[in-house]
């Protein structure tokens, strides 16, 4: 070992990567085939969405590159007029289905991640405040959470979407639709985070280290953020993963219903909405491939979330 010149770290202290590889979580990951496969699917889909402009064969939003003659080309066969080939076929306007899926996934994932992040930030902050401060703050926050929980999240998201649509001027509605979606799904989903964080905070609050921090005169906000927050992150991570799958499905559902991403910026749900119209006339590929992509994305994130929940649960070890 010592005469190897490439060795840069002292042998007594393994690198961050090596420590991560040796952790319980990584061990469990390496021994759960379902987790590995779903993680691989998620990574491939996310990467192809992120690099969509580089790998997509066509730019579906550039009207100049579209040829109406290419419309309704079946997958894997040359078009009758232009002889152009498309791996997954084209839609009515001659847009390459593969490219629209890649770009659509970008929007679906962007909305999903942003919405969960918004829900997480709101939920964690309100949960910490409710759990640590108690009193009327807790009563108010938890009562609001209870009331919101009376209604299914998708209904809350629809209402927020409708109201936000009413507030934005008609000319900006298509531009704003993505942000409105994020706001709607994010605001409909914070309750989960707040409840779990509040529960965990109530437990942590009574621990000695928090008492010690209080004794040396730390301010409440710094105790919440620097001391309690790192200790309640495990369940937050699990909920975030499962919420991500739910948020992606919620976005797809809203867009499918026509109250989400506009046809000019189609997400997977919008593409399924468009494809449904061609189901009866035999152009099955316009519907099938976006639907399969959505399914693969939601299912693998769900399975990953299930694994994470079991792996982080000390009682199941």
Q: Which residues bind other proteins (CB under 8 A)?
A: 143, 147, 150-152, 154-155, 158-159, 161-163, 165-167, 249, 252-253, 256-259, 272, 276, 279-280, 284, 287, 291, 294-295, 298-299, 302
* Residue 18 neighbours by CB distance under 10 Å: 11
Instruction: Tell the smallest beta-carbon distance from residue 47 to other proteins (Å).
Output: 23
Cα separation values, 18 from 3, 107, 303, Å: 21, 35, 26
Considering beta carbons, is residue 154 or 233 the nearer one to other proteins? 154
Considering beta carbons, is residue 2 or 150 the nearer one to other proteins? 150
Spatial neighbors of 134 by CB under 8 A, at least 6 apart, are none
Give the separation between CA 185 and CA 248, rounded to whole angstroms: 9
Instruction: Tell the smallest beta-carbon distance from residue 87 to other proteins (Å).
Output: 22
Considering beta carbons, is residue 165 or 214 the nearer one to other proteins? 165
Instruction: Tell the smallest beta-carbon distance from residue 304 to other proteins (Å).
Output: 13
**Cα–chain center distance at 285:** 26
Considering beta carbons, is residue 132 or 256 the nearer one to other proteins? 256
| Residues 41 and 296: beta-carbon distance below 8 Å | yes
Considering beta carbons, is residue 66 or 245 the nearer one to other proteins? 245
Give the separation between CA 70 and CA 208, rounded to whole angstroms: 70
Instruction: Tell the smallest beta-carbon distance from residue 19 to other proteins (Å).
Output: 34
Considering beta carbons, is residue 210 or 297 the nearer one to other proteins? 297
**Cα–chain center distance at 174:** 22
**Burial zone of 92 (CB within 10 Å; 0-12 exposed, 13-18 middle, 19+ buried):** middle
| Residues 103 and 263: beta-carbon distance below 8 Å | no
Instruction: Tell the smallest beta-carbon distance from residue 179 to other proteins (Å).
Output: 17
Instruction: Tell the smallest beta-carbon distance from residue 109 to other proteins (Å).
Output: 16
Instruction: Tell the smallest beta-carbon distance from residue 112 to other proteins (Å).
Output: 13
Cα separation values, 143 from 4, 90, 131, 136, 140, Å: 63, 50, 13, 10, 5
Considering beta carbons, is residue 136 or 280 the nearer one to other proteins? 280
Considering beta carbons, is residue 57 or 152 the nearer one to other proteins? 152
Instruction: Tell the smallest beta-carbon distance from residue 284 to other proteins (Å).
Output: 8
The CA dihedral of 131, 188, 117, 315, to the nearest 10 degrees, is: 50
What three-state secondary structure class fits 58? Answer: coil
| Residues 211 and 227: beta-carbon distance below 8 Å | no
């Amino acid at each position: 070992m010592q005469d190897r010149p490439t060795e840069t770290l002292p042998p007594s202290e393994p690198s961050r990567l090596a420590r991560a590889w040796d952790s319980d979580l990584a061990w469990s990951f390496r021994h759960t085939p379902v987790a590995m496969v779903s993680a691989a699917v998620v990574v491939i889909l996310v990467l192809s969405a992120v690099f969509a402009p580089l790998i997509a064969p066509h730019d579906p939003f550039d009207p100049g590159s579209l040829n109406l003659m290419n419309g309704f080309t079946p997958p894997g066969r040359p078009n009758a007029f232009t002889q152009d080939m498309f791996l997954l076929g084209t839609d009515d306007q001659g847009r390459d289905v593969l490219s629209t899926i890649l770009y659509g996934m970008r929007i679906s994932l962007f909305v999903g991640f942003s919405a969960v992040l918004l829900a997480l930030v709101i939920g964690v902050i309100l949960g910490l405040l409710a759990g640590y401060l108690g009193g009327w703050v807790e009563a108010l926050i938890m009562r609001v959470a209870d009331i919101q929980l009376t209604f299914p999240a998708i209904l809350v998201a629809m209402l927020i979407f409708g109201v936000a649509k009413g507030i934005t001027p008609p000319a900006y509605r298509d531009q704003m639709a993505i942000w409105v979606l994020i706001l709607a799904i994010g605001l409909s989903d914070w309750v989960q985070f707040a409840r779990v964080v509040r529960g965990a905070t109530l437990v942590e609050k009574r621990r000695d280290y928090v008492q010690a921090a209080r004794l040396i005169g730390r301010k409440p906000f710094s105790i919440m953020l620097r001391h309690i927050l790192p200790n309640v992150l495990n369940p937050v991570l699990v909920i975030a993963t499962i919420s991500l799958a739910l948020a992606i499905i919620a976005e797809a559902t809203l867009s499918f219903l026509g109250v989400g991403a506009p046809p000019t910026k189609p997400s997977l749900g919008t593409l399924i909405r468009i494809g449904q119209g061609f189901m009866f006339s035999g152009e099955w590929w316009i519907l099938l491939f976006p639907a399969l992509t959505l399914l693969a994305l939601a299912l693998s994130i769900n399975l990953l979330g299930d694994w994470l929940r079991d792996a982080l649960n000390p009682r199941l070890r």
